Structure formats: structure tokens, C-alpha cells
Structure 1
């Protein structure tokens, strides 16, 4: 995998972990306005997950890299994203498997898992590169009044 520098999120956490992975998957965008993307086609997605926190777990990890890979790569690699009906929808544009929605859904998956961990890490962003020239970053809205 090419080494890449990703846009960073300013934060005051002590630890920041980044996990890169590649996911080969197909999808289609179920709307006429998607043009050629309405047809089933595939990508090799390059994903970067950024997790941060102040405490390590009993193993000395912020979060185990293998868990992040299992949550995303093992679920989506070599699949048709539209077939994941528990995640994506052909009826609601907020759930079409566009790059933006894929990034948000991946963040939701990671963050849901992180919230179960006693050391309370959080996912700061998900970077999804769909093609060599196109990518999307999802960052959740943060309450600026809270002290990290």
C-alpha cells in the first residue's frame, strides 16, 4: 500500500492511532442523477481510520488494529455494498452507498464498537479514497464546548 499522509484532526488526546486498509467492493448508486454510477461497478477503496484517546487498554492498545480490520475489511471486502441491507438502502439517499455515505457508515460501525471499550477511545475520522483522484473524509460534528 502506498504510504499516504491524511488530513489531520486537531485534538488534545494523548494517543492517535491510524489504520490503513484496502477493500475491493462493488456498488451502484440507485438514482438516475448518478449517471454511469447507476450501473454496478467496482473500486479498490483505500480506507484510513483515525482513533484517539487518553487511556490504553489492559493489553497496552488504544484499540487493537485487528479489530478495526475485522469491523470493516472482513465485512465489506469482495462484496457488493448494496447487498448490505442492514447498512445501505436503495430507497433513501441518506443510505445510498456513495463515498460520503460509505465513510459515515464506516465511522458509525467503528464508533459503536469503541463505545463498548472501557478505555473510551473515539473515532475522529474515516478517510475513504474511491479512485486515485477522488476521496471523502467523514468527521462527526463535535460539541466544541466539551473538553477532550
Structure 2
């Protein structure tokens, strides 16, 4: 009891976005090669008759969750805030066969990581907690989410 271990799995996906109302270059359509680190915390399974004995969470199980909730959804998409005039642009792109995701927030790295945290937390087994996320948008820029920082 009390042997908490953190495990991390790394993911990558490509996505584009535009920040409506922003006063810099990111107001234009552009894309990123996102890198997402997902860290969960729990105790290794102590039942030696369990096929997952010694694991906090099977990396394959974590991969399945994150791929289904994030990577497979966002990869090679264009992400727009549906509460902006970008709605017209998004609809035009959809009509031309582009993969568009409409979200109810400004699709910054900060807001995307909040969305991802909720999606992942909802899928984890009860005994596993989401510890942190790190979403890297460029080689030198990333946002981090920590469970301990949340109210």
C-alpha cells in the first residue's frame, strides 16, 4: 500500500487551427506536429495471478484510450472555435472534403489540453488517476496540465 508509480506514454498527431481574433500570425490557418505526453499514477497490481501483475496500467490500454479519445479524432484535422465567424470557413472546408473539428473553445494549446484532460480522465479505470499532460505544439512551446493544480 502506498507504492504510487507514475507511468507516461507519448503520442504524436498533426493538426491545423486558426485563432480567431488573435493579434498575431496564428490568426491565419496553420498547423502543428503536436506531441502529447500522458502521465497516470497508481499502484502496481500486486495480485500475481493477474495477467497485468506488476503494472500500474498496461501501456497498451493507455494507448487505446488516448488514441480513441485524442489522436484518432484530432490527427490531420483542422480545429476551429464554433463560436466565431470561422464557422463559415469551416463549413466551406468541410464541403471541399476537409476533416474539420468544431470545438466550443479557442483552440489554443492551453484549451486543447484542458479538453484532453477531461476526455482521458473519463476513460481511465477507477484506481488510476490522470497525473499530468504535456502538449507540445512546437519544438520550444508547450502547455502542461497537472491534477494537483486543479481546484
TM-score, normalised to structure 1, is 0.71
Q: 1:135 aligns with which of 131, 135, 142?
A: 142
Q: 2:111 aligns with which of 92, 101, 116?
A: 101
2:46 maps to 1:54: no
Return the structure number with greater strand share: 2
Deviations 1:23-81 (A, max 9, x none): 10001111133x11011100000110001112649652525122222221111111112
2:42 maps to 1:32: no
* Length, aligned pairs only: 121
Q: Which residue of 1 aligns with 2:122?
A: 112
Question: Contact 2:6–2:131 at 8 Å: present in 1 too?
Answer: no
Which SS does the other structure have where 1:110 is aligned?
helix
Where does structure 1 differ by over 3 angstroms across 4 or more consecutive aligned residues?
55-59
Question: Contact 2:120–2:130 at 8 Å: present in 1 too?
Answer: yes
CA RMSD of superposed structures (Å): 2.3
Q: Which residue of 2 aligns with 1:22?
A: 12
Distance 1:16 1:32 in 2: 37
Structure 2 gaps of 5+ residues are 81-99
Structure 1 gaps of 5+ residues are 1-11, 90-94, 144-148
Q: Which residue of 1 aligns with 2:33?
A: 44
Question: Contact 1:20–1:48 at 8 Å: present in 2 too?
Answer: yes
Deviations 1:83-121 (A, max 9, x none): 433xx23xxxxx21101111111111101111xx24x21
* Structure with the greater alpha carbon radius of gyration: 2
